[in-house]
Amino acid sequence: MKVNEVPQDNAFLQSDNQIGLRDRYYALDEDGKFQEVPSVGWKPKNAAIQFAWNNRAEEAEKVRQQVITGKYSPLAYHMERLLMTSSILSQYTGLSRYKITKYCKPRHFIKMKPEDLSRLAAALNISVEELTTID
Amino acid sequence: MNMQLDFEHRHAAHCENGVVRNLLNFYGIQLSEPMILGLGSGIFFSHMPFYKLHGMPLTSFRPFPGTIFNRVTKTLGIDIQWHKFKDPDKAMQKLDEILFKGIPVGLRVGVYNLSYFPQEYRFHFNAHNLCVIGKEEDEYIISDPIGMNKHRISSADLKKVRYAWGTSPPKGRMYYIKSLKDYRPLDEKMIDKATLKTCSDMLHIPFPMFGAQGVAYLGRRMRKWEDMYGKRGAALNLAQVIRMLEEIGTGGAGFRFMYAAFLQEASEMLNRPLWNQLSMELSETGDMWRDFSYHGARFFKNREGKIQSYDDLATKLQIISDRETDIFTRLEKSIKRG
């Protein structure tokens, strides 16, 4: 890659972000020497990231519909949306995987103890109110 | 208690290289980022169907996290210390204890809860590195090599990312330089030894999923993806490979260029013109990796057009694999003969 070919396609990095996250490439200058060039992103990578998240959003929407029909609880929707699996959530909260899977069902979800609810909400970085709704 | 070390923060292409370079620089040892990569034998490839990230096979372009730091410091005769903790509070206590002795501390963290990352980058990736260089009230001052500037993070947030969970959790791991009493300055032997190690990793691991042949292995798996995972699953797997290839600080194509930069630097230092030629060729394989990503990304758009099949992508990988095998074989021979 030549110095002038280093991509600058920004998609996700906020310009007001104080830390200034950047990629950095080692690219060749006209004399065939490597130079370091910071970059804000590249289209194909952005497309891959966007695709993965779009797919995630679609999956979450499917679960949301199933929450409305009463198959799953809001917990299942938020886990799907926030990239959580029962095993990782179990590691964060200390609750067993079995319990978390159980809470994904509405009839167990409504009987959940408040402290379990707040632990799950904390691990998902959302408030208890958010965790109990699907908007 | 407030304090901040006189620590020069510099941006880097890769987090671990960057932390190692900045740490060494703090102790007056000045090496470039490519030299760190070269000495740490940091270029690698593996595609492991049995080791999953987000339920998909993990493709990695670097050795296991921590390896570069260990190898570089061992080569230079620097005494280091690693810690990990069961108890998060102890992990934070120890961090303060070392920091207040005036020692910058490297941390392995997960990015899922890393507050200054854009939401889109925050997945369960647990091999990010940053360096803690100060504390003010309840905030830590950190030097994260993929940021252009120093930053701050609250102690609650830092605790959270040190105890991220998922594939290979960091468990509060921290590392720092203990003493320089056996320090040896960089010499030709060290470069040769590290380069041989790199060649050995890239060429001689007797399993198909590692090193240069691993690239071809990924290609062979890729041909079966559509049958195995369906259309969407195959595209998701491809997306994951491309993210690992191009994501900030994880290596991939960028590593080919950086290792090429190392070969160029070493070629000038040791007066070996062949290495500069190999450097140019490796840089070309970096371009080929980028070509792979470029064509792969078309799978993510529904627009019909000149979409290539997974077979075409796999063929590209096969060619890359052959080229890299050839380059590292010649690199290895050039040392063994010399």
Note the ipTM here.
0.89
Q: Cβ separation of A51 and B239 shorter than 8 Å?
A: yes
- Return d(Cα A100, Cα A91) in angstroms, integer: 11
Q: How far is CA B338 from CA B30, B64, B281, B334, B335, in A?
A: 27, 30, 21, 6, 5
- A18 and B12 within 8 Å at the Cβ level: the answer is no
Q: What is the mean pLDDT of residues B31-46?
A: 94
Give the closest-approach CA distance of B151 to chain A in angstroms: 6
pLDDT tens by residue, A23-62: 889 999 999 999 999 998 888 888 888 988 999 999 999 9
Q: Does A20 touch chain B (CB under 8 A)?
A: yes
Chain A hits for B313, Cβ within 8 Å = none
Of B245, B286, B293, the CB nearest to A1: B286
Q: Could A83 and B12 be called an inter-chain contact, meaning their C-beta atoms sit closer than 8 Å?
A: no
pLDDT of B307: 61
What pLDDT sits at residue B65? 85
Closest CA to B282 of B257, B245, B318: B257
pTM of the model: 0.92
**Residues constituting chain B:** 338
Backbone angle region of A20, left / alpha / beta, with phi > 0 → left and psi within -120 to 50 → alpha:
left
pLDDT of residue B303: 54
Q: Does A92 touch chain B (CB under 8 A)?
A: yes
Name the residue with tokens 């990695």. B60
Would you tell me the crossing angle of helices B67-75 and B188-203 to the nearest 10 degrees?
150
pLDDT tens digit sequence for B112-147: 999 898 888 888 889 899 999 999 999 999 999 989
Q: From the CA of A52, how many Å to the nearest CA of chain B?
A: 6
Q: What CA–CA distances, in Å, run from A61 to A68, A76, A77, A130, B234?
A: 11, 11, 8, 16, 21
Judging contacts by C-beta atoms under 8 Å, the chain A residues touching residue B239 are 48-49, 51-52
- CA nearest A88: which of A61, A120, A114? A120
What is the pLDDT at residue B320?
96
Q: Which residues of B125-153 are buried (b: 16+ CB within 10 A; e: fewer)?
A: bbbbbbbbbbbeeebbbbbbbbbbebbbb
Q: Best of B9, B10, B11 to disrupt the A interface by mutation (most A CBs within 10 Å)? A: B11
Q: Could you tell me what percent of chain B has a pLDDT over 90?
A: 72
Contacts of A66-73 with C-beta under 8 Å, sequence gap 24+, read A67/A106, A67/A134, A68/A134, A70/A106, A71/A106, A72/A104, A72/A105, A72/A106, A73/A103, A73/A104, A73/A105, A73/A106, A73/A108, A73/A109, A73/A110
Query: Using CB atoms, which residue from A13, A28, A32 is nearest to B118?
Result: A13
Any idea which of B34-43, B109-118, B247-256 has the lowest mean pLDDT?
Answer: B247-256
Structure tokens at A4: 């002038």
Task: For domain A56-131, give the CATH number.
Answer: 1.10.260
Residues of B in contact with A20 (CB under 8 A): 147-149
* Gap between the Cα atoms of A98 and B335, Å rounded: 56
Most confident of B40-44, B223-227, B318-322: B318-322
Q: Is the pLDDT of residue B246 over 80?
A: no
Tell me whether residues A21 and B148 touch, CB distance under 8 A. yes
Q: What is the share, in percent, of chain A residues with pLDDT greater than 70? A: 98
The whole-chain average pLDDT of chain A stands at 92
Tell me the mean pLDDT in the region B52-73: 88
Q: Is the pLDDT of residue B179 over 70?
A: yes
CA A131/CA B73 separation, integer angstroms: 47
Contacts of B95 (CB under 8 A, 6+ apart): B105, B107, B132, B174
Q: What b/e sequence results for A36-50 when a residue is b if at least 16 CB atoms lie within 10 Å of its CB, and e otherwise?
A: bbebbbbebbbbbbb
Tell me the mean pLDDT in the region B41-53.
88
pLDDT mean over B296-323: 82
**In this predicted structure, which of A95-104, B99-108, B110-119 has the lowest mean pLDDT?**
B110-119
What does the buried/exposed string (b/e) look like for B57-73 if buried means 16 or more CB atoms within 10 Å of the residue's CB?
bbbbbbbebbebbbbbb
Residue A16 pLDDT more than 80?
no
Chain B residues whose beta carbon lies within 8 Å of the beta carbon of residue A47: 297, 300-301
The answer to whether A25 contacts B254, with C-beta atoms less than 8 Å apart, is yes
Which of A74-88, B3-17, B40-54, B175-189 shows the lowest per-residue confidence on average (mean pLDDT)?
Answer: B40-54
Question: pLDDT value at position B168?
Answer: 87
Q: Can you give the pLDDT at residue A79?
A: 96
Q: Is residue A94 less than 8 Å (CB to CB) from chain B? A: no
Enumerate the residues of chain B whose CB falls inside 8 A of the CB of residue A32: 280
**pLDDT of B250 higher than 80:** no
CA distance B38 to chain A (A): 14
Chain centroid offset of residue B252 CA: 8
* Distance of alpha carbon B246 from alpha carbon B253, whole angstroms: 7
What is the average pLDDT score of chain B?
91
The amino acid present at B237, given as its one-letter code, is N
Q: Write out the residue limits of the CATH 1.10.260 domain(s) in chain A.
A: 56-131
Q: Is the pLDDT of residue B82 over 90?
A: yes
State the pLDDT at residue B55.
Answer: 79
pLDDT of residue A48: 87
Which 3 state secondary structure label does DSSP give B253?
helix
